[in-house]
Structures are given as structure tokens and as C-alpha cells.
Amino acid sequence: MIEEKNIYENGFVKLSKAILDWQWYTEPNVFRLYIHIQLKANFKQNNWRGIEIKVGEFITSVEKLHVELNLSVQNIRTALKKLEKTGYIKLRPTSQYSLIKLIDSDVFIVEYNYNNKHNSNQKTNVQQSNNNQVTTTNKEKKEKTIKEEIELFQAELDKYKNQYSKTILDSFFNYWTEENKQTGRPKFIEEKFWNLNTRLSNWKTFIKTDDKKSFIKNRNHGQL
């Protein structure tokens, strides 16, 4: 098992399972070379003999690849051409060396650890902080929206002051603005079909019936 320390010191690459359907997956030489390039490419920027080598790039030569992979020079050249022609790498050859650059694709994403675990943790902490800020902002927006909805609800109820008693309107308001424990939103917002006039009329009937039942129940128990 590779130690975590070594992973962060040496970098790592990620392969998508989409590579199983990759056009060069069944071409042994091309596939081997492509994986080799991924493993050899820089996971952090550095310089070599005055040349800036960026992430996803590395300096090599056909001869060196021939030795490292135990493939013929011709096989290396052919595989490189196939990878370059189909847009998976870019080649910048010179008389002394070749600079190979990996290109992001559907089977491979240049995603190296640029510095070390500490910096990675710092980035994670910053992301976590940003996520917390977003969560707080979203919560505040939700609370503000709900408050505005309740105020509008109250304003609509006020239009019925001449038709219903304060007791009926207050009990109706208190019931329908009660928070739904699962969603955190008032009951009236959760309703898909809402007709205030009809619901108030039904509520008035409900209140009268409920009051009548309470009166009969209390009288039967000798409380009235």
C-alpha cells in the first residue's frame, strides 16, 4: 500500500472508467505509452535547463521512451503520432529533446497535487469556509423570503376583517403560519392548491363546529 505521504510528495493521476471505451484502449503500444506519459508528466511546475516545464508536461526523447517502455523506436514514433493526431497530447520536438504536453480529455484530466498536503488542506479549509458562507447566506435569504410571505399572507387576511371575527382570523393565521418541521416553511406555503376565500369559509365552519363540540363536551362533564 502506498503511504499517504508519498502520494502527496510524488503526485498522482486519476483515470476515468471511460478509458475502457477509449479508441486506443485495445492498441497495446499506444495505451502503454499514454499511461506512461501520464505518470511521467509534472505534477508541479519546475524548470529544466532554463526551460519552464508546466503541470502536465515533461521533457523526454523517443530514445528515452524506447528504453523505458522496451518498445522499438518506430513503435514509439507511431504511438506518439496517433496520440497527437487524436488530440490527447501535444508534441514540441527539438534536436535534443521533445516536450510532451497532456491534453485534458474524456478519459484523463490533468489533476495533480501542485504543492503538498498542507496546501491541499488549506484549500479545503478555504472551500469549507466558502461553503459555510454560502449556506449562511442561503439560510438568511430563505428566512427573509418566508418572512415576506407571511407578511403578504397577513395583508391578504386583513382584507376579510369585515367578514370574519378577529378570533377566526387570528386562529386561521396562527394555524397556517405554523412551521412545517420537515421543510421549515409555513403550512400555507406547502399547500399546492390555495384559495383563501374558500379556506376561510371552511375554517369558520370548522371553528363553529369545534366550539359546539367543546360546549357539549364540557356540559356533559359538568364544567358549564
CATH of domain 4-102: 1.10.10.10
Terminus-to-terminus CA distance in the chain, angstroms? Answer: 81
Grid coordinates of 174: 396562527
> Which pLDDT does position 201 carry in this prediction?
87
More confident residue, 223 or 33: 33
pLDDT band at 8 (very low <50, low <70, confident <90, very high): very low
Q: Which three cell numbers stand for residue 79?
A: 504511438
Over the stretch 169-179, which tens digit does the pLDDT of each residue have? 999 999 989 98
pLDDT of residue 218: 46
Look at residue 49 and tell me whether its pLDDT is greater than 70: yes
User: Residue 102: which residues within 8 A CB-CB, separation 6 or more?
Assistant: 37, 38, 41, 56, 57, 88, 89, 108, 110
101-125: per-residue pLDDT in tens?
888 765 555 544 444 444 445 555 5
Average pLDDT, the chain: 76
Task: Express each pLDDT in 125-142 by its tens digit.
Answer: 556 655 666 556 677 777
Question: Are the C-beta atoms of residues 81 and 29 closer than 8 Å to each other?
Answer: no
Domain chopping of the chain, boundaries: 4-102, 131-220
The three three-digit cell numbers of residue 69, written as one number: 517502455
Bridge-partner residues for 91, per DSSP? 100
H/E stretch holding 59? strand 57-60
Task: Round to whole Å and give the CA distance between 176 and 75.
Answer: 76
